[in-house]
Structure 1
Amino acid sequence: MEWTGARYADKPTLEVRTWIDAPLERVWSLVSDIALMPGMSEELQSVEWLDGAAGPAVGARFLGRSKHEALGEWQTTSHIIECEPLRALAWAVEDPEDPSAIWRFRLRPKDGGTELSEWMQLGPGRSGLSLAIDRMPDKEQKIVFVRLREFERNVTATLGAIKKRAEH
């Protein structure tokens, strides 16, 4: 059976959406408080603002420490690349010009509540996934597919946790 799917260089993406019965302001307060994110993620263990930053603003940086059963433990520096209160928050992991990933929350009013989406892109910069691909180049598409499914599961859980907090 031949495997067909995205390669890392294709900058594969995923997006998950949810509707939250809460106003934009409440949802934004949760999304923009990165200190809450480790409690909503299996992988992300801790985050801390760098350079004296106290919250998100374009150019602000934060350190994230992560852990994965197969990939081990690592830390990355993320750079806020978009910050529009009540609308969008995005960060590039490691080099903003050649990120190993980009993450973005988008909010919009919908049906008396808030539609929240979380989008992410792998690559194009090197990451821990690149090391796995280097070791097994013939399995690149499967490695990318499996990692995207893990991210989809984690993003779905994060959005569920934000929804629960916002609605209660």
Structure 2
Amino acid sequence: MADTYEKLLEDSIEIAAPAEKVWSLVTDIPKMSKWSPQVVKSTVKGGEVRLGATFSNLNKQGIKRWPTAGKVVRFTPPVGGTGEFAFKIRENRTVWSFQLEPTADGGTRLTERRETPQGISNVSLVLTKVVLGGQQGFTDELRKGIRQTLERIKAEAEA
């Protein structure tokens, strides 16, 4: 079926910066609009990013805008090893995550993923088909956006 979705989107990048520095960037939800080409604005309820924290996003595609709500579902700082930060988007049930792994040279391998452990909500599937250009086109945009996000985080971390 041409309008099915991919269960996993994933990309990684090597960053010449310690995991703690990269962690401080990926967990700064209000600054995600600086890195993600789809995010216009994010606001964390209560201001503190931690396990269970909730936030609102305003996303974009061209001139189209739509709100989403997220909740931090994994928050494991990279103390002496691997770290992971993940949030679930209420409207479509997707889980977005950043995994940080130390590299042999003291840098960090950063992996961004979009997973669909509970599938994607029917409302989101219909809206993607009708408003956002269909699953394949939207998935291609997401894949490009993940790469752009990783490259922008790398540039910031290495500056």
Task: Please confirm whether the aligned pair reaches a TM-score higher than 0.5, indicating the same fold.
Answer: yes
Residues of 2 paired with 1:12 and 1:67: CA distance?
A: 22
Contact kept in structure 2, 1:53 and 1:61, CA below 8 Å: no
Partners of 1:13 and 1:45 lie apart in 2 by 24
Fraction of identical pairs, as percent = 28
Q: Deviations for 1:87-110, whole angstroms, at most 9, x for unmatched residues?
A: 000011016xxx432100000001
Mapped pair 1:63 → 2:60: no
Structure 2 counterpart of 1:160: 151
Residue 132 to residue 157, structure 1, CA distance change in 2 (3 Å): closer
Secondary structure at the aligned position of 1:18 is classed as strand
Distance change in 2, residues 1:127/1:32 (3 Å): farther
| Matched positions, count | 151
Match of 2:99 in 1: 106
Indicate the residue corresponding to 1:130 in structure 2: 126
Contact 2:75 2:85 in 1 (8 A): yes
Q: Residues 120 and 145 of structure 1: is their aligned pair in 2 closer, same or farther, counting only changes over 3 Å?
A: same
Q: Deviations over 1:62-109 (max 9, x none)?
A: 000111127x211111011111012000011016xxx43210000000
Q: 1:94 aligns with which of 69, 81, 90?
A: 90
CA deviation after TM superposition for structure 1 residue 12, in Å = 2.1
Unaligned runs of 5+ in 2: none
State the Cα RMSD in Å.
2.2
Could you list the per-position Cα deviations for residues 98-141 of structure 1 after superposition, in whole angstroms to 9, with x for gaps in the alignment? Answer: x43210000000122100000003542245442243x59xxxxx
Q: Partners of 1:151 and 1:94 in 2: how far apart?
A: 18
1:100/1:127 contact within 8 Å kept = no
TM-superposition CA deviations, 1:12-47 (whole Å, max 9, x none): 221010000111111111111112210112221000
Partners of 1:92 and 1:100 within 8 A in 2? yes
Larger Rg: 1
Q: Which runs of 5+ in 1 are unaligned?
A: 137-141
Q: Does 1:28 align with 2:27?
A: no
Q: Distance in 2 between matches of 1:76 and 1:34?
A: 13
List, as ranges, runs of 4+ consecutive aligned residues in structure 1 with deviation greater than 3 Å.
Answer: 126-129
1:77 matched to 2:69? The reply is yes
SS in 2 for 1:16: strand
Say if 2:37 and 2:149, in contact at 8 Å, map to a contact too.
no
Structure 1 residue corresponding to 2:10, chosen from 8, 12, 15: 15
Question: Matches of 2:96 and 2:147 in 1, distance apart?
Answer: 14
One-letter amino acid matched to 1:124: I
